[in-house]
Chain A
């Protein structure tokens, strides 16, 4: 069995979940702080779009921007000598963009659930906005942020459509686990595909149970809060 898809997928999902986590939390905080309801709704829509679009459509847009002869892609190639489309970087790009809305929505929901009085209390006590974010908002939203991170990781691991569009299916380079399953099935190698499927199911299951465990532990934390 060729183990390269396992390694590529692991690398892609790990790097993309880090990017998504910080970008998602930052975007959620940005929208959370908006005062105007209309602007909130607009940005919420824009940032959620990759979740509801078919992945191939998202891939199409990515190709449109990051393709070698397209504005952003050409810029990266010319100034940094980095080719994004059809390289390993493209798998990270696709996984990040597709999993971003999950992280963003979980983080925003978690922020909205934090009692506003806690933030106001921090302000009346003279805490800076940055300190309030770190010491009050983040710790009290941690549960939601972790769930978001795990969902985003699982979604990034399973990303297929957009990856196929912008990263292609190059063995040993951009062939992630879902693409390997597809390739093996196309070639009639059901047995090889089955092994990859098993690995995917296993990792996904561990991720989701991990999330439930986290929830359970946090319930303990909340019990401590309310007795």
Chain B
């Protein structure tokens, strides 16, 4: 069995961690708010913390099994771990850092040169970590992991230590490295853009529990769960009362909405992405027409946000995002029934 399989249970101070996932190859993203246990999950896979119960397998090797009392040492797990601040050894140069992970052998020198070239570290071999930029530090840390014979790669918030303007550039660089790595990868982040860009599959975690797991694009298009919708950036969420097979009443917004998908009895909420709300053309009969009562307008560099209520029966605010080109406040808005996200609690 190729890849990583994990079931991890651990009692923590504030909550109970209960995560389960599997990933054959490619990159799995774990998306969750800060403090939801996603980093702890990663540390448990690496063996840096010991779960109370569960099972962790990598390429058919059992790393941890509470039932069989297996608990391999961190060293024997062969799991590469990219720390949030990269954890480069400050007393060693770039070359020494990379060499620190290598097994002894005649091929070591050649390997080093190849890694230096591959991670674009030429000319920096003799520098100390403190003399490197954030991006160079990250590449050094990755080269060091590639030097050790890691069979899977765990990335713990790899861009959180970086300035936002550097982040996008580094994400593109990392995407290339991810494609070249032969083995599975798990990336932990609270940033949905990062996950969307880098991961084929996504696991959503909240309060220590795995909420839902699936293909990244599919999950962002149809989150299915309230937590997943919120974490993938859905600004508008409302509790509902079912009003028909293809109709719901949004209790928080005081509006009735048509849906394209059938509303089952398990649906408790609906979500509408702020970008899916469009101005309703004058006089035309459009579905899900809501007359606008403006509450607030907020301007960002490239877009602006309109927060409005239903004019006929004001309820909670609904967010709508528009390009900066179109600054006009519409009389009424419309939402395509196919864009209404039906969600379970």
Contacts and interface: CB of A to CB of B under 8 A. Distances in A.
A121 interface: yes
A225 interface: yes
Contacts of B77: 124
Nearest to A227: B130
B271 interface: no
B251 to A, nearest CB: 46
Given A124-B80, A126-B103, A140 B87 contact: no
Interface string B135-154: 00000000011001110000
Contacts of A125: 100-101, 144-145, 148
Nearest to B73: A123
Contacts of B100: 122, 125, 127, 135
B328 interface: no
B78 A115 contact: no
A139 interface: yes
Contacts of A120: 46, 48, 74, 81, 83, 87
B131 A224 contact: yes
A126 B72 CA distance: 12
A128 interface: yes
A225 B86 CA distance: 14
A125 B103 CA distance: 10
A125 B147 CA distance: 9
Contact of B81 (A121, A128, A223, A225): A121
B287 interface: no
A117 B144 CA distance: 15
A63 to B, nearest CB: 44
B176 interface: no
Contacts of B80: 124
A118 interface: yes
Contacts of B148: 124-126
Contacts of A136: 89, 91
B247 to A, nearest CB: 53
Interface string A128-172: 100000011001100000000000000000000000000000000
Interface string B94-133: 0000001101000000000000000000000000111100
A226 interface: yes
Given A117-B83, A126-B103, A227 B75 contact: no
Interface of A: 115, 117-118, 120-128, 135-136, 139-140, 222-227
14 contacts: A117-B83, A117-B84, A120-B83, A122-B89, A123-B47, A123-B48, A123-B75, A125-B101, A126-B78, A126-B149, A135-B89, A139-B91, A140-B90, A225-B130
Given A120-B74, A125-B145, A126-B149, 11 more contacts: A117-B87, A121-B83, A123-B47, A123-B75, A124-B46, A124-B79, A126-B101, A135-B89, A136-B89, A136-B91, A140-B89
